[in-house]
Structure 1
Amino acid sequence: MIYDAIVSRLHRLGAKPLGLWRFGAAAAIIAVSTGVAELLYRLLSTTRLSMVFLAGVLVCAVTLGSYPAYFAALLAFLIYNIYLVEPRFAFQMASPEDVLVLLVFLAVAVLTGGLAGRLKDEALRNMRRARATSALFEASKALSSTSDEDEIRQLIVKQMALAAKGSAMISHGARLWRYPEDGSPRDLPGALALSSQGWRVQVIAAEGEELGLAAWRSSAEDRPDEDGDRLINVLVDLGGAAIARARMAQTNADLAAASKTERLRTALLSSISHDLRTPLASILASASSLKAFGRQFSPEVSLDLIETIEEEAERLNRFVANLLSMTRLESGALQLNRQGFDMAEIVNRCATRLRRLGANIERVLPNSPCPLEGDPILLEQALDNVLDNAMRYAGQGRAIVVRLTDLGAAALLEVEDCGPGLEADEHGRIFDKFYRGRTAGASQGAGLGLSIARGLVEAMNGTIAAQPRSDNQQGLLVSMLFTRETALAA
């Protein structure tokens, strides 16, 4: 729709007013034709030289346009009559044939000059339209590549100045955009005060809303150009439409972000309420049972209830630690406590803790210690999150393999489960915050564990990745790689 309006306005562009210098140039061309005719008259002693003047008229038409060609035809008619028609140097005819010759000459000169001039004028108009279309295309392409209002106004004011061959400015509120910087008044009221010096002003508007004011002026060497003004009017309208589009895009983006934030908040609150309620319910049930019936329980039952309270409290502690780590990762406030440690000890602690929760953990460890420089607490939390994710999806009692490999310059920690696995396009996205795989089903969780694990691993300058199992069995393989040089530099 905007393009159609632009094209229709371009087709209404008129011819540029002719300058007086073109009529002077036409007179000069006819003077040259007269000189050539005089030379031929002396050499050939003939007065039948009308074609010389017709050639001059055609040259005027082709180079200068229609109106200079008409002027040249009239001037050639007068000179031809006075200079070459007998009696010479007198405005009278010796016979009726001379009158007919002169009238035919005038008619032919006017017709040929007019036709050639119109072709010239049409070529000039087409050239101006092509330049205007090219300018609008470049402006449209530039405007479509940005949604920043300031950048849009800066692009438009530059195109306005180029179209006006002078200076331009745009104001919106207290802000001002100028091009060139040293060629415009420093405020729009200053331009309005100088309106007698050629400044023109147009309101920038779109959908009934005023978006600023645009002002422009041609340079001293170029007098006001009607075509340029019309092109600028289209540019201003185009800029208004681009600003309205940018505002609509920003509004839509804000609405989408607000909607996404609300969905994430709802999902997070739902997950947090579940993850907090389940261990709290176990703790409350065990504690109340001990309080009410502690003397009636056997030592084994009492110990089991106490262990349940301890395990669920540790689960709550891990959950709160995850929330704190997520906050610190997002704020950039995570601090590393660098020290040397044996990665095998981290694996053993995590495996022991999860075995108490019923997990079937199989460990594959090197025969010698696997030292690393870094933060053992962060690594333990990251491994806990990966193992917790594997235990949630692998199913009760199914094996989870934790494999630690010393590669010399690096240490590779792998967790392999027997769960449903992931689809091919999910292996990279599984570490995104709040992302839950399409095979997750009704499994509880906010989708934070692996995202936090990635943040903790990367904080130690390690890498984490997910891929299908190497033995082509169903399940997922999560690998964490720590190079000893980068871990030392963390």
Structure 2
Amino acid sequence: AARMAAKGSGGEVMAVYIARSDGLTAASPKELAVQRTLVEDLGGSFHQVIGDDIPAALLEFARGVNATQIVLGVSRRKAWQYVFGPGVGATVARESGPDLDVHLVTHDRMGKGTDLSRPPRTARLGRNRRVCGWLIGMAGPVLLSLLLRGVAPGLGLANDMLLFLTLTVAAALLGGMLPALASAAFGSLLLNYYFTPPVHHVLISNSRNIVALVIFIAVAVSVASVVDLAARRTHQAARLRAESEILSHLAGSVLRGENSLGSLLETVRETFGMESVALLEREHDLAPWTCTAGVGTRAHVERPEHADVDMPMGASMSLALTGRVLTAEDRRVLGAFAAQAAVVLDRQRLRTEAEQARALAEGNRIRTALLAAVSHDLRTPLAGIKASVSSLRSDDVEWSEEDRAALLEAIEEGADRLDHLVGNLLDMSRLQTDTVTPLIRELDLDEVVPLALDALAVPAGNVDLDIPEDLPMVAADKGLLERVVANVIENALKYSPAGATVLVAASTTADQVQLRVVDRGPGVPEDAKERIFEPFQRHGDAPRGAGVGLGLAVARGFTEALGGTLTAEDTPGGGLTMVLVLPRVPDRPHAQAPSDDRPDGARLSRTPSPGDG
């Protein structure tokens, strides 16, 4: 077989050993080890399957691995042994069909005899059923003869034969062919000896009784054959039904897009009752095997040949199972699982590569946007600072106190803008690297919102606060929440028309506290409401010096880190409303402000000035 594969197109050599299901083997473990070593030295793989019908198991395995040629040794049977059947080689050649070529190779032991016994035809029936069949087939006729002779001696030969036939049918139903044949032969002898004239002699005086006994034996054999065939067909039907259910479940998992390799291997282990299942891979033929994934209680094997069942999937992948040897039919189903495992593994790797490519693309997009921001938004305040400093240091011009104050103010404003832009960039980097760790505690919004307004350096604008005194406390990080509120209010002021007022109002629901920042600006279309929260996004005709487009992205990232949400809604009458939702502190009394701070129920109004903050 190895020479034929080498002369052809580089085919794969697979040696198969068929073991009996009852544990009886024709070869010792030492002989099998020698055969395995020989096959592996020739570049092939050794496989062991279970099958009571050797030709059927061999053909089932060959078709399961899409083999094209089968190489067998010529039978060792002597001439008289062909009475029991044509032999493995002849049966395989006859039933191989047009898709398989069978080669019979001569050897020095051909025709010298073999001690291989033919497997019983009742192998499809259970052991308990066969035992009961033999008991009924052999002990039943004896008991029935005693009963008929002692209790009802005058029933007649026809009735006696029907009763004996009933026992034969029962033996056939339980034990199959052999117990029924034995019952028919033994029952016919008892009928002849005790109930057919002349009695107590193995003779028949009436020719009609001879015909009756022949019919009795023929019916018994026919019933036994039908029952044996029905038992085997029932077994095959049950197996096919189980296979169809397994394959249907497998196909359903494919259609549902289930991509967990571990769950698939666990399904394989449970389906075939194995101790462990491992998916082994190697880069090339000479590379060592590595375990890509595995499940089970037993340690995974390091090489496919060390496993009880090896299902190759190409030259570089194999499914290795430990626990027991499978039949050829089971290997056919296992092949479907192996193919699906390879597909799932490829899909996982493609998904990982796609995620890596997506991350690289996102990183490239952010780097491109960052370069654009550095090239303009960061250089603009630097240019202003540089020009102001150069002007102050110039000896050619005598600056007045007012001019000197204006230049210093320009330097301060440029430095503030730089600090704000760099702060947003650092905050976004913290969010993208998952290094934001909030310190959650109970807070009052009427404590955080004024601090956020104090931190804003806006040239002009009006902010109205509507925060009730009895508003429940929220669970948040004070610093992060202050930054969120500041960024949202700053965005509202940036897009509000001159002289318009930004409203900051708070309310409560069953388990949440909402803070709404309402502006009267141009608003945002519905399809762009989510896009404005992405990094480096500036909606509409925002001026280039208005920032790098990170304020809302940082605000949403910090909000989600606090366990809240930040969404955008349309303002009735025009504009945009930012809705900040935070978890409410349950069943805790609200901390009242000092009575001399401001009256209960008062609304805070604030008009920021250029000097705020």
Identify whether the pair has TM-score above 0.5, normalized to the shorter chain.
yes
Contact 2:304–2:319 (8 Å) recurs in 1: no
Calculate the TM-score normalised by the size of structure 1: 0.71
Match among 241, 257, 267 for residue 365 of structure 2: 267
Q: Which residue of 1 aligns with 2:10?
A: none
Residues 322-361 of structure 1: pairs in structure 2 closer than 5 A:
322-329=424-431, 330-332=433-435, 334=437, 342-343=447-448, 345-350=450-455, 353-355=457-459, 360-361=461-462
SS at match of 1:476: strand
SS at match of 1:59: helix
SS at match of 1:253: helix
1:449–1:188 Cα change, 3 Å: same
Counterpart residue type for residue 159 of structure 1: T
Q: Shift of residue 475 of structure 1?
A: 2.2
1:106 is the counterpart of 2:217: yes
Q: Which residue of 2 aligns with 1:161?
A: 273
Alpha-carbon displacement from aligned partner over 1:182-232 (angstroms, at most 9, x marks no partner):
xxxx67599989xxxxxx8332333443234323327xxxxxxxxx52354
SS at match of 1:478: strand
Contact 1:132–1:231 (8 Å) recurs in 2: no
Q: Shift of residue 403 of structure 1?
A: 1.6
1:120 is the counterpart of 2:244: no
Alpha-carbon displacement from aligned partner over 1:364-384 (angstroms, at most 9, x marks no partner):
35699x999987654443233
Counterpart residue type for residue 273 of structure 2: A
Contact 1:419–1:474 (8 Å) recurs in 2: yes
Q: Shift of residue 389 of structure 1?
A: 3.6
Q: Shift of residue 401 of structure 1?
A: 0.9
Counterpart residue type for residue 216 of structure 2: F
Match among 449, 463, 472 for residue 362 of structure 1: 463
Contact 1:361–1:401 (8 Å) recurs in 2: yes
1:387–1:305 Cα change, 3 Å: farther
1:203 is the counterpart of 2:310: yes
Q: Shift of residue 51 of structure 1?
A: 0.9
1:239–1:289 Cα change, 3 Å: same
SS at match of 1:354: coil
Residues 129-278 of structure 1: pairs in structure 2 closer than 5 A:
129-134=240-245, 147-161=259-273, 170=278, 172=280, 173=289, 181=298, 188=301, 201-217=308-324, 229-278=327-376
SS at match of 2:328: helix
Q: Which residue of 1 aligns with 2:483?
A: 381
The 2-side partners of 1:111 and 1:36 are apart by: 22
1:268–1:35 Cα change, 3 Å: same
Match among 157, 160, 163 for residue 47 of structure 1: 157
Calculate the TM-score normalised by the size of structure 2: 0.58
SS at match of 2:458: helix
Contact 2:467–2:507 (8 Å) recurs in 1: yes
Aligned Cα RMSD in Å?
4.9
SS at match of 1:415: strand
Counterpart residue type for residue 271 of structure 2: Q
Q: Shift of residue 304 of structure 1?
A: 5.0
Contact 1:61–1:117 (8 Å) recurs in 2: yes
Counterpart residue type for residue 526 of structure 2: E
Contact 1:65–1:121 (8 Å) recurs in 2: no
Segments of 5+ residues of structure 2 without an aligned counterpart are: 1-59, 65-95, 97-120, 281-288, 592-613
Q: Which residue of 2 aligns with 1:225?
A: none
Q: Which moved more, 1:342-351 or 1:241-250?
A: 342-351
The 2-side partners of 1:411 and 1:214 are apart by: 57
Match among 519, 524, 529 for residue 421 of structure 1: 524
1:95 is the counterpart of 2:206: yes
Q: Which residue of 2 aligns with 1:35?
A: 143
The 2-side partners of 1:372 and 1:98 are apart by: 106
Q: Which residue of 1 aligns with 2:107?
A: none
SS at match of 1:211: strand
Q: Which moved more, 1:29-38 or 1:267-276?
A: 29-38
The 1-side partners of 2:363 and 2:380 are apart by: 26
Alpha-carbon displacement from aligned partner over 1:257-307 (angstroms, at most 9, x marks no partner):
122212221221232223333343323443454436963888766655554
Q: Which moved more, 1:207-216 or 1:106-115?
A: 207-216
Paired residue total: 447
1:284–1:299 Cα change, 3 Å: farther
Contact 1:286–1:305 (8 Å) recurs in 2: no
Q: Shift of residue 483 of structure 1?
A: 5.4
SS at match of 1:355: coil
Match among 84, 93, 97 for residue 195 of structure 2: 84
Contact 2:559–2:565 (8 Å) recurs in 1: yes
The 2-side partners of 1:76 and 1:387 are apart by: 104
1:396–1:191 Cα change, 3 Å: closer
Counterpart residue type for residue 268 of structure 2: I
Counterpart residue type for residue 269 of structure 2: V
Q: Shift of residue 465 of structure 1?
A: 3.0
Q: Shift of residue 244 of structure 1?
A: 1.4
Q: Shift of residue 52 of structure 1?
A: 1.0
The 1-side partners of 2:315 and 2:305 are apart by: 23
Alpha-carbon displacement from aligned partner over 1:125-145 (angstroms, at most 9, x marks no partner):
323333444455567778988
SS at match of 2:321: strand
Match among 159, 169, 172 for residue 58 of structure 1: 169
SS at match of 2:492: helix
Alpha-carbon displacement from aligned partner over 1:420-456 (angstroms, at most 9, x marks no partner):
33538x87x569664969xx46768876433422444
SS at match of 2:238: helix
The 1-side partners of 2:122 and 2:417 are apart by: 83
1:403 is the counterpart of 2:504: yes
The 1-side partners of 2:130 and 2:185 are apart by: 12
Alpha-carbon displacement from aligned partner over 1:390-437 (angstroms, at most 9, x marks no partner):
356x36648461425598x9986432133433538x87x569664969
The 1-side partners of 2:315 and 2:499 are apart by: 66
Q: Shift of residue 247 of structure 1?
A: 1.7
The 2-side partners of 1:265 and 1:24 are apart by: 74
The 1-side partners of 2:466 and 2:504 are apart by: 6
Contact 1:372–1:487 (8 Å) recurs in 2: yes
1:465 is the counterpart of 2:566: yes
SS at match of 2:327: helix
1:314 is the counterpart of 2:419: no
Q: Which structure has greater helix proportion?
A: 1
Q: Shift of residue 154 of structure 1?
A: 4.2
Contact 2:294–2:300 (8 Å) recurs in 1: no
Counterpart residue type for residue 47 of structure 1: L
Q: Which residue of 2 aligns with 1:26?
A: 133
Q: Which residue of 2 aligns with 1:222?
A: none
1:299–1:371 Cα change, 3 Å: farther
The 2-side partners of 1:113 and 1:55 are apart by: 12
The 2-side partners of 1:486 and 1:238 are apart by: 64
Q: Which residue of 2 aligns with 1:453?
A: 555
Alpha-carbon displacement from aligned partner over 1:337-372 (angstroms, at most 9, x marks no partner):
999994454354355x2236xxx443335699x999
The 1-side partners of 2:125 and 2:513 are apart by: 83
Contact 1:82–1:88 (8 Å) recurs in 2: yes
1:189–1:244 Cα change, 3 Å: closer
Counterpart residue type for residue 269 of structure 1: R
Alpha-carbon displacement from aligned partner over 1:66-98 (angstroms, at most 9, x marks no partner):
444344333433333333222234333213222
Identity level (%): 18
Contact 1:202–1:213 (8 Å) recurs in 2: yes
Contact 1:280–1:312 (8 Å) recurs in 2: no
